Amino acid sequence: MKRFHLVFPALIVTIVPIVIFSIQTIIFAQQEKGQIQKNVNFIWAFGAIKNTDAGPQFEAITRDTVLKTGDQIKFFLRVENKCFIYLIYQNPQGDLNVLFPYRFKLLDNNYQISENYYIPKGDQWFELDEYTGTEKFYLVSSANRLAELEDLINEYESGDKSNKITIGEKIISEIRGLRKKHRRFKTHVERPVTIIGRMRGTAKTKAAGLEDIADYALEISADNFFIRTFTIDHQ
């Protein structure tokens, strides 16, 4: 990721507070007899720490938003049933990076149901660098493994620089095609998660501290397919 101080091959990861991102939501799921068939079910949080005049402020993001250089971000994910989840980042130049799974082999036998995944791992956080522009995150989940998308991403990661722009465009086109294919499936369930006696996913903004981003998680349930695009205006 060239737009963040993060830990990836192209990122610099720092241990810093949390930021929850702005989100543009497009969710698709099939409705059957008024009930959601929960073959796509996972717990999710996206958070940010904003630098303000009053000091660092933690915010849970639920829509498109503005973040600034020096703000930090982090994700939380826990898969509740055997579905396949992909989190893909695109910077303003069109460069792509897969944030989850850490590697596609994770989707095989080592893919653990009800295991907590933090992105980045542990106490690390992504920090926005001095390069500004539109940052996008594509969260895609499917009841079936998306082999064509994986193949394109593998081709992108193994290709040389001269081919990355073309392959990257194919990846975004594939994501848009999946969205269009599932457009008729529009029912989903999204609700706060109650953990350890308190309601999660309800906080708006609070002073930044050592809070666990999982405390602000939402449960997302859908039938067959779910997609959400998070757009950040990085200033």
Tell me the pLDDT tens digit for each residue of 39-90: 899 999 999 999 999 999 999 887 889 999 999 999 999 998 889 999 999 9
pLDDT of res. 210: 53
Question: How far apart are alpha carbons 127 and 17 in whole angstroms?
Answer: 9
pLDDT of res. 92: 85
pLDDT of res. 115: 87
- In the chain, the amino acid numbered 216 is Y
pLDDT of res. 109: 52
pLDDT of res. 162: 86
pLDDT of res. 18: 34
202 CB-near residues (< 8 Å, 6+ apart) = 192, 216
pLDDT of res. 82: 85
Answer yes or no: are the C-beta atoms of 44 and 220 closer than 8 Å. Answer: yes
Regions of the chain where pLDDT drops below 70: 1-37, 105-111, 184-188, 193-211
pLDDT of res. 177: 96
Q: How is residue 198 written in tokens?
A: 């308190």
pLDDT of res. 17: 37
Hey, where are the domains in the chain?
A: 4-234
- How many residues appear in the chain? 235
Answer yes or no: are the C-beta atoms of 38 and 10 closer than 8 Å. Answer: no
pLDDT of res. 12: 41
H/E run at residue 179: helix 161-181
pLDDT of res. 164: 92
